[in-house]
Amino acid sequence: MPTITVSPLERYLHGHRHTDWLVALSDLRAVMHEVDQRATRIWCYQWPVDVARALAAAPDRDAAVRAMWLQGRFDLAEQVDTSHAFLYGHRFWSLVKQTVTEVAVSGDEVPATGLHELVRRMADNAAARARMDVSLLVGITAVALMTLQHVGLEAFRKTRGQTTAPRGLLASAPDQIVGARERDDAQGLFGFLRGIKTRFTVRFDEGRDEACFPIFSGQHITTAALADRRDYTASDARCHEGPIPVQCRAASCGTCWVGVLGGNGKVSAASAAELSRLREFGYIDTGDERPVIRLACQVQAYGNVTLVIPPWNGIVGPYLSRELASPLAPR
């Protein structure tokens, strides 16, 4: 039977939890290009390492999946090369993946200087190789390390590291993308004469021009999505009423969670009830009235908005609370 060894890098990563990564991303903000600041946080919330740890530690994985009500594609090992397609840094994945893999297989000890220092050092290394701006690599490097922590070195190395060529908005320069996310649609002559803007666009994949639907000012996002009659079920079995999975439309099931990548100032503030439900579902714990993670059925748009739709949903909060409270929980 082959001996399974865990690299020092993996051992170091396994000592950290979701909240540690949130702190690290906050510390890295000053050295990360704006184009990937929200995107990297959305990825971190979308793939919390605590869920991966809980599944790995469960004596019965299927029972844990049921206990957390996990639905959709929640296994990151199947999405190592694709889960971060909404990051600008996705186009540099091959370079970053190779850099992280080399450190992992080297067996070198990791100086205990903090996650943010580790990310920064690896991003510097990759940037020096490619002679490029390190600020564009910091976010995707953090994602690569979190992915390694999730799936382990064997699964991390197994994929080819290829990425799809950026299309649509993602083919633009990073500053252009930041500007485009904040821009509203032109309202035409009648809109101009009325002096009010009434019709906007919700974009849910910047890499595909067709991945958007119209929304009236003040309309709930999932209500507008309902009018998008294209077939999304083939690509995501949870989607029966437009591109955003929904069930209850009443903040009760957690199916419709999304990341708000652009236009956050143009969406309605979260109610106390929505914030409370987001916390209970285990998606985000915050008092921010416009958090980066929302329940789309509770959000009204007053301008163009760019979303990220997670490929899975669940009610993980109660299970994780029990796991983290356990005296046996690894630290």
Q: Give the residues lining the site for ligand FES (CB under 6 A).
A: 246-249, 251-256, 295, 297
Secondary structure class of 142 (helix, strand, coil): helix
Q: How far is the CB of 223 from ligand FES (least distance, A)?
A: 11
Q: How far is the CB of 248 from ligand FES (least distance, A)?
A: 4
Q: How far is the CB of 221 from ligand FES (least distance, A)?
A: 10
Phi/psi for 75 (5° steps) reads -95, 105
Residue closest to 256 by CA, chosen among 217, 208, 198, 296 = 296
Phi/psi for 131 (5° steps) reads 50, 60
Alpha-carbon distance of 101 to 95, in angstroms, equals 10
Q: How far is the CB of 252 from ligand FES (least distance, A)?
A: 5
Please, what sign has the CA dihedral across residues 301, 82, 56, 14? Answer: negative
The nearer residue to ligand FES, 201 or 247, going by C-beta atoms, is 247
The nearer residue to ligand FES, 173 or 250, going by C-beta atoms, is 250
Q: How far is the CB of 324 from ligand FES (least distance, A)?
A: 24
Helix axes 18-28, 115-130, angle to 10 degrees: 50
Residue closest to 126 by CA, chosen among 108, 109, 143 = 143
The nearer residue to ligand FES, 141 or 222, going by C-beta atoms, is 222
Q: How far is the CB of 313 from ligand FES (least distance, A)?
A: 9
Residue closest to 76 by CA, chosen among 313, 311, 324 = 311
The nearer residue to ligand FES, 17 or 279, going by C-beta atoms, is 279
The nearer residue to ligand FES, 80 or 246, going by C-beta atoms, is 246
Q: How far is the CB of 298 from ligand FES (least distance, A)?
A: 7
The nearer residue to ligand FES, 149 or 255, going by C-beta atoms, is 255
Secondary structure class of 100 (helix, strand, coil): helix
The nearer residue to ligand FES, 150 or 249, going by C-beta atoms, is 249
The nearer residue to ligand FES, 105 or 248, going by C-beta atoms, is 248
The secondary structure of residue 42, as a DSSP letter, is H
Residue closest to 58 by CA, chosen among 321, 325, 331, 319 = 319
Phi/psi for 154 (5° steps) reads -60, -50
Instruction: Write down the H helix ranges in the chain.
Output: 8-14, 18-28, 37-46, 49-57, 61-67, 93-106, 115-130, 138-158, 174-182, 188-194, 221-226, 272-281, 317-325
Q: How far is the CB of 257 from ligand FES (least distance, A)?
A: 8
